[in-house]
Amino acid sequence: MSRTGQTGPYTDPEPRRITFDEWGELFQKIPDELIEQFHYFPPNREPWSAYLFPPQTFAIYGCRHLRRLKFDNSLAALRLWGFVQNETERLFRARQTGRRVIATMGDLGAIPVIVNSFPDCLAFYPDCIWWTPFVMESSVLLDTATKLGVGEMTCFSRAALGAFAKQAYFPAPDLVIAATGASCDDYSGIEQLVADLVPEVLWVEIPFRCEARNRTPADRTYAHQLLVAEYQRVVARLELLTGHRLTAAELQAGISRANRVRRMVTRLRELAYGLGVLPALEMMVIEFGNLHYYSDIDEWTTILAHLVATAEARARAGQRLHPVDAVRLIWVTPPADPLLLCYVEDEGGRVVGTEYVINQALVPIAEHRPGLEAIAESFMAASLIGSTRERIAAVFQQAIEHQAEGVIVSGILGGSHCAMESRLITDYVQQELGLPVLEFDVAPPGPELDRQTTTRIDAFLELVRSRRTG
Amino acid sequence: MTQWARPLGHLTTGRLSSVPLTPRERFGLLVIDEPQDRVPILPLITAHAAHAAGVSLRDYYTDGQQMARAQLFTQERYGTDFISLFSEVGIVAEALGTQFTYPEDDLPILNRPKWLKLGQLDDYVVNPERDGRLRVYLDAARHAYEARGDTVPILAYIPAPFTTAQQLVDGETFLIGLVAEPEKVRALLDYATRSVIRFARAVIDASALPILVDPLASGSVISAQHYQGFALPSEQAVIKFLHRYDLDVVLHICGDTTAILELMAASGADLLSVDQIDLATAVRQVGNRCRLIGNLDTTTLWLASAAEVSQLVERMVSIGKANPKGYVAATGCEVPIATPAENITAFVKTAAAAGKNPDWPLGSFEKSGLKAGRG
């Protein structure tokens, strides 16, 4: 049996989005041999590293929202969810087994490529803890952040501060590398508060890319050189920490591994957004896997290969998850509440493109150039560090490519940049593409979506459908 | 950015001690072999919850909402780290056909077993949503989980096959059968195992963590040889099923289990809940393999003074927290219904103080060896 998708006697059912209870039933058909097949940190086979478990397992340990989501019914998706859901345990096990655990914050995609090039080092993003309050339907981390001085005025990413304080969501990092500068301003504030909880933060400046102001190529070169110099500091600090001198070959190998992931995610985007063979929820989880590979790039790579094989098989067989008349939508800014994606699909929507502010983690890194220069060059494409107009251009491109009929912008309550960008994106899309836009702030964590949001989504989808005939 | 107008440095590591872990966070660390801020605390409060919350016992064990309400009340009142859904060990046997009566102010009483003799099996497997009072537990789990599942682990006690089988036939006949008709007993155990597993699956679907309880397999009831030959294989079958879900399995056997402690560890359970045994012996014998839960004598908890309870708990925790695989400060068995509230409060407060981790918080940050300061 291959680790990437050949699953012996087990065969996926017809593709469908299924409920929590339906996964409970389906899991009874998964043979024990398959459960024993998949482990993180390969080739490790310790019993604690198995991860092919159903949503029921993670619900018992507090992930209450899982009971309300809908999931892809493929074995590859089960692997995906099992792997992602046990990342906390994986990080602690990493530490227990002698790996260095590095918290990377704010840059969303570049620095983990460097970290993972070091032997026995892995990077993770505390930033991604922002989903935890939603997945657990819990205010614990947000309340903790409030207690530490960051309240509702700040976006849900403040959950990361709560997690640092709790020391129960990831082990104490060997090092925290925090990007600041042209990153999310709310999150920069969180990083500053985290700095007071940990022994050391290595601050990394990321430059603003400012094409809109007609900067010269020399300006771009300067920004690129600044990034390279910052990455050199990262390498130097990691070498000090690990006592290992990073070779060019090791960095190139790290870049190759990252590129392999990026290529597969690009392929999955083509298949999912072009043909509708994977749900929007799993695709969001997949896209965010580009940031730090859920703390185990080797196993994440095999899971992606399994997903690609599943998606391609569906494409070949003409199997689709959505009705042919589903409303084609671009989603801008990742929804903190994953239930939103399920709801939109339940109501007849289909996501055909995304602008989750993480495109920098998707751009291939040139393998023929010196490593740090190539990583910096790749990062310079980041929507994170550019103007709103450039994010809008990415929306336009996808909207045209996939004949989108509408755009949803899910802002973050308290996220100061969201308040400004959401309005601008809405205006530009309406004016220049003539597409209807639904813009809303995601409500705080809870068991259900708030009624106002669902009513607006319903009305929006109805509006888009009415334009087809009108 | 105005919300960060305060000067940096206002947060100190000392302030983190005012950020306690939730019971769920604490338990989550325990089961992945990580230190916690203090030992988790689990007086086995079951029917006492009804007494404390002013719910009649019959309502408690026949109405899931009432069971949840009582459990939520006591968890909050005493500040324990778990919610324990349980009334008595006959529920699966009842769902299979054994008859119980329901006194207003007492726990159910076995009225008539399903069979009087061994060797009278059928093909039935319980339907947890329909049979007997299994639904009560599932409703209680759902209510408790909705109310507090993000912060407190919800435990649902599941009688093991051996204990269940013993209530499907006349008890004396069953015990004699261990010697006289062992194959018929094994067949009955297989029969019970199927329904126990079916119920366990329903508990999992209701998002509670199943705890396997096998009081009638205690060393106080049967020999170690009979435990190994009859009770253990059926416990292993259930635990294997639970491990399909990667659950951290608790096996609770009351009474004196000294002679079967090694065998209990061989069941595959991740946590052993022990009663009338020497805790230090348990630590020595199985502490490298299993987390331990236990084991204050419940009669003492009921009848002693709060001061005496505190003294005993302090000693117990000092022994238990040295267990290499981890420890939960608990009673050896169910808290008696009429136990004074101040004794339970004394148990919890003392266990929390005695079980505090002196290296918490930030012990691990400091141990990382990094120099403080900005890079």
Chain-chain contact of B19 with A166 (C-beta, under 8 angstroms): yes
Q: What is the mean pLDDT of residues A10-19?
A: 96
Closest of B70, B64, B65 to residue B91, by C-alpha: B64
Contacts of A343 (CB under 8 A, 6+ apart): A449, A454, A457
How far off is chain A from B209, nearest CA to CA, in Å? 6
ipTM of the shown complex: 0.94
Q: What is the 3-state secondary structure (H, E, C) of B179-236?
A: HHCHHHHHHHHHHHHHHHHHHHHHHHHCCCEEEEECHHHCCCCCCHHHHHHHHHHHHH
Contact in structure between A293 and A272 (CB atoms under 8 Å)? no
Per-chain mean pLDDT for chain B:
92
Q: What is the mean pLDDT of residues A369-378?
A: 96
Proportion of chain B above pLDDT 90, given as a percent: 89
Strand ranges in chain B using DSSP code E only, listed in sequence order: 41-44, 83-85, 99-101, 109-112, 154-159, 209-213, 250-252, 271-273, 291-296, 327-334, 373-374
Residue B21 forms contact with A (CB below 8 Å):
yes
A303 pLDDT higher than 60 = yes
Measured between beta carbons, the chain A residues lying within 8 angstroms of B146 are 64, 447
Contact in structure between B362 and B13 (CB atoms under 8 Å)? yes
pLDDT, position A421: 85
Domains of chain B: 8-365 (3.20.20.210)
Q: What is the mean pLDDT of residues B103-118?
A: 94
CA dist., res. B185 & res. B164, Å (int): 12
B375 pLDDT higher than 70 = no
Residue B224 forms contact with A (CB below 8 Å):
no
Residue B6 forms contact with A (CB below 8 Å):
yes
CA dist., res. B326 & res. B27, Å (int): 10
- Paired tokens of A185: 């301003």
Chain-chain contact of A50 with B207 (C-beta, under 8 angstroms): no
CA dist., res. A336 & res. A137, Å (int): 12
Proportion of chain A above pLDDT 90, given as a percent: 81
Q: What is the mean pLDDT of residues B154-178?
A: 97
Q: What is the mean pLDDT of residues B50-79?
A: 97
Proportion of chain A above pLDDT 70, given as a percent: 96
Q: What is the mean pLDDT of residues A321-337?
A: 96
Q: Is residue A221 very low, low, confident or very high in pLDDT (cuts 50, 70, 90)?
A: confident
Q: Is residue B12 very low, low, confident or very high in pLDDT (cuts 50, 70, 90)?
A: very low
Residue B358 forms contact with A (CB below 8 Å):
no
Q: Which of residues 121-150 of B touch A (CB under 8 A)?
A: 145-146, 149-150
How far off is chain A from B178, nearest CA to CA, in Å? 32
pLDDT, position A418: 75
A281 pLDDT higher than 60 = yes
Chain-chain contact of A153 with B244 (C-beta, under 8 angstroms): no
Chain-chain contact of B8 with A195 (C-beta, under 8 angstroms): yes
Q: Is residue A415 very low, low, confident or very high in pLDDT (cuts 50, 70, 90)?
A: confident
Torsion of CA A129, A133, A139, A140, to 10 degrees: -50
Chain-chain contact of A166 with B145 (C-beta, under 8 angstroms): no
Chain-chain contact of A149 with B11 (C-beta, under 8 angstroms): yes
Q: Which of residues 240-299 of B touch A (CB under 8 A)?
A: 244-247
How far off is chain B from A254, nearest CA to CA, in Å? 24
Q: Is residue B372 very low, low, confident or very high in pLDDT (cuts 50, 70, 90)?
A: very low
Contact in structure between B163 and B216 (CB atoms under 8 Å)? yes
A313 pLDDT higher than 50 = yes
pLDDT, position B15: 55
Per-chain mean pLDDT for chain A:
93
Tell me the per-residue pLDDT of A64-93, one tens digit each, with 9 for 90 and over. 999 999 999 999 999 999 999 999 999 999
Q: What is the mean pLDDT of residues A162-173?
A: 95
First to last CA, chain B: 23
How far off is chain B from A290, nearest CA to CA, in Å? 26
Q: CA-based diameter of chain A, in Å?
A: 67
Q: Is residue A384 very low, low, confident or very high in pLDDT (cuts 50, 70, 90)?
A: confident
pLDDT, position B268: 97
Question: In this predicted model, which residue has the larger pLDDT, A222 or B349?
Answer: B349
Lowest mean pLDDT among A97-111, A350-364, A391-405, B352-366: B352-366
pLDDT, position B70: 98
- Under 8 Å CB pairs connecting chains A and B tally to 143
CA dist., res. A186 & res. B77, Å (int): 38
Q: What is the mean pLDDT of residues A355-362?
A: 90
pLDDT, position A378: 93
Q: What is the mean pLDDT of residues A237-260?
A: 98
Q: Is residue A108 very low, low, confident or very high in pLDDT (cuts 50, 70, 90)?
A: confident
**DSSP, residue by residue, A404-419:** --EEEEEEETT-HHHH
Question: Which residue in B204, B364, B375 is closest to A237 by CB distance?
Answer: B375
Tell me the per-residue pLDDT of A419-463, one tens digit each, with 9 for 90 and over. 778 888 999 999 999 999 999 999 999 999 999 999 999 999 999
How far off is chain A from B220, nearest CA to CA, in Å? 33
Q: Is residue A386 very low, low, confident or very high in pLDDT (cuts 50, 70, 90)?
A: confident
Tell me the per-residue pLDDT of B252-279, one tens digit each, with 9 for 90 and over. 999 999 999 999 999 999 999 999 999 9
Chain-centroid distance of CA A293 in Å reads 9
Measured between beta carbons, the chain A residues lying within 8 angstroms of B149 are 62, 64
How far off is chain B from A203, nearest CA to CA, in Å? 6
pLDDT, position B17: 57
When scoring B2, B3, B325 by the number of chain A Cβ atoms within 10 A, the one with the most, hence best to mutate, is B3
Tell me the per-residue pLDDT of A133-166, one tens digit each, with 9 for 90 and over. 999 999 999 999 999 989 888 889 999 999 999 9
How far off is chain B from A129, nearest CA to CA, in Å? 14
Q: What is the mean pLDDT of residues B67-73?
A: 98
Q: Residue A384: count other Cβ atoms within 10 Å of its Cβ.
A: 23
Q: What is the mean pLDDT of residues A333-339?
A: 95
Chain-chain contact of A151 with B208 (C-beta, under 8 angstroms): no
Tell me the per-residue pLDDT of B322-371, one tens digit each, with 9 for 90 and over. 999 999 999 999 999 999 999 999 999 999 999 999 988 854 444 333 33
Measured between beta carbons, the chain A residues lying within 8 angstroms of B209 are 60
CA dist., res. A327 & res. A344, Å (int): 9
Residue A319: φ, ψ to 5°: -85, 135
Contact in structure between B346 and B310 (CB atoms under 8 Å)? yes
Burial A132-164 (b: 16+ CB within 10 A, else e): bbbbbbbbbbbebbbebbbeebbbbbbbbbbbb
Question: Which residue in B6, B22, B208 is closest to A140 by CB distance?
Answer: B22
